[in-house]
Structure 1
Amino acid sequence: MARYTGAVCKLCRREGMKLFLKGERCYKDKCGFEKKPYAPGQHGQARKKLSDYGTQMREKQKVKRLYGVLEKQFRRYFDKATRMQGITGENLLQLLERRLDNIVYRAGFAGSRKEARQMVGHGHFLVDGKPVNIPSFLIKAGHIVSVCEKSRENSRIKECVDTAEGRGVSEWISLDKGAYKASVHRLPARDDIGYEIQEHLIVELYSK
C-alpha cells in the first residue's frame, strides 16, 4: 500500500496549520511548525497568491493529510458524501471522522492518527466486542470501541490513555479509562471537527 514516508512536519508547514501528525511532539516547543511557521523550501517565506484552483487544491490536500487518506479513497468518500442527505462538505468530514483509526485517536488510545492506524492494523481493538483490524471501518452511533484484553498491558496504549484528558477527548465520545472503552453516543456534528477547514472549497474542486 502506498504511504507517505517523508518528513511529516513539512506537511504541516505546507498547509499552514498544525495537523498533529507526530502526536505529543506537536504539543511541545519542539514542534517543527512552531519553529518554522512557513512553507518548506527555498522560497517558503515568499508571499504567494494562489489561484482559485490552487486554493481549492490546498484545502483538499490539507484534509487528506490530516486524516491520512490517499486520493483514490478520498474520492470514494466524496462520492459517498454526495449521495447522502444533507450538505456534501459536512457529510464528507463526518465520514472521515467516523473512521475507526480516527475514533481511536479521538478517544485518546493513540497519540496520532498514524499511530492509531497502526494499532488498529495490529488488532488491538474491538468494536462491540468483535475484533476489527480495518482502519477505515466506519463507526456508527452506539458503537463501543474497546482495547483487547491482551493489549491492555501494552505500555504505549497505557501511556496514551493516561494522558488522554490532557489532549482532550471529543464531546461525542465517552471514554472509560478504567475499562479501556470508548462509547460513541452520537455522530460528530460540524462544530465537533475542531479544525480550520473550508470544506466547500473541496466540493467546488470536485464539482468542476
Structure 2
Amino acid sequence: MARYRGPRLRIVRRLGELAGLTRKSPKRSYPPGQHGQARKKKSEYATRLEEKQKLRFNYGVSERQLVRYVRKARRVSGSTGTALLQLLEMRLDNTVFRMGMAPTIPAARQLVNHGHITVNGRAVSIPSYQVRPGEVIGVRQRDNSRQMVEANLQSPGLANLPTHLEFDKNTFTGKVNGVVEREWVALQVNELLVVEYYSRKV
C-alpha cells in the first residue's frame, strides 16, 4: 500500500494527536465522516487496528514496512512492543525530526531524500536508515541545505530533545548517544495492542 498523501487533519481527527504527522490542530474533536458524532462502541479488533494505524501514519511507513519492523522486533530479546518503538524512533527521518531540523516527520523525510543530511560526514538519502549510538548527524555544507535547517530550527516540531540525542544549533550537528527510552517516545500509543494485532498475521 502506498504512503498516505491525503488530508492529515482527517487522520488526526480519527486517531488523535500525531506529533510527527502535522503540527496543526483540528477544529472538530469528533472523527470525520457522516457518522463521526454517532460512533458505536469499538470492538477489540477496531481498537488494535487504531493503535496500529497510529504507528503507520505518525512514522510514515507502509504496511509492508511495519510488518517487517514487527518481525525484526520479535527477534530482539525483551519486550517486542518496546523494541518496535525503538526501531521506528531510530529511523534517520525521525531522528532529524526529534533534533528539531524539521517541523514534521514528512518534512524530515524530504530533507533526507533530497540529500541535505549527512551521517558521519557522508550524505545519506535513505529515510529508513537505522542510526546507531555514536553516529553524528549533520547538514551538508551547502547554502540551501543550511538555510532550510536554520529556518526549521526557529520553530521545531517538538520542544524537548530526548536524552539519547544531543544537538548543537551553531554547527547544525547532532550526536546519537544511545537508544531511545520508552518514556521519550512522543506518540501516545499502546504498543502491546499493535503486537497483538500482528500476532495472527505475522
TM-score by length of 2: 0.93
Read off the aligned partner of 1:17 and give its amino acid letter.
E
Moved more, 75-84 or 160-169: 160-169
Query: In the aligned structure 2, how far is the partner of 1:75 from the partner of 1:112?
Result: 23
Tell me which residue corresponds to 1:21.
Answer: 21
Tell me which residue corresponds to 1:84.
Answer: 76
Q: How does 1:190-205 map to 2 (within 5 A)?
A: 190-205=182-197
Query: In the aligned structure 1, how far is the partner of 2:96 from the partner of 2:157?
Result: 14
Paired residues of 1:152 and 1:158 also in contact (CA < 8 A): no
**Runs (5+) with no aligned partner, structure 2:** none
Tell me which residue corresponds to 2:150.
Answer: 158
Paired residues of 2:116 and 2:140 also in contact (CA < 8 A): yes
CA RMSD of aligned residues (A): 1.8
CA apart distance, 1:17? 2.6
Higher RCO, 1 vs 2 (CA within 8 Å, ≥6 residues apart): 2
**Runs (5+) with no aligned partner, structure 1:** none
Moved more, 1-10 or 99-108: 1-10
Q: How many aligned residue pairs are there?
A: 200
1:177 aligns with 2:169: yes
Q: Percent identity?
A: 40
1:120/1:164 CA distance change after superposition, 3 Å: same
CA apart distance, 1:20? 4.2
Q: How does 1:32-51 map to 2 (within 5 A)?
A: 32=26, 35-51=27-43
Paired residues of 2:21 and 2:59 also in contact (CA < 8 A): no
1:206 aligns with 2:198: yes
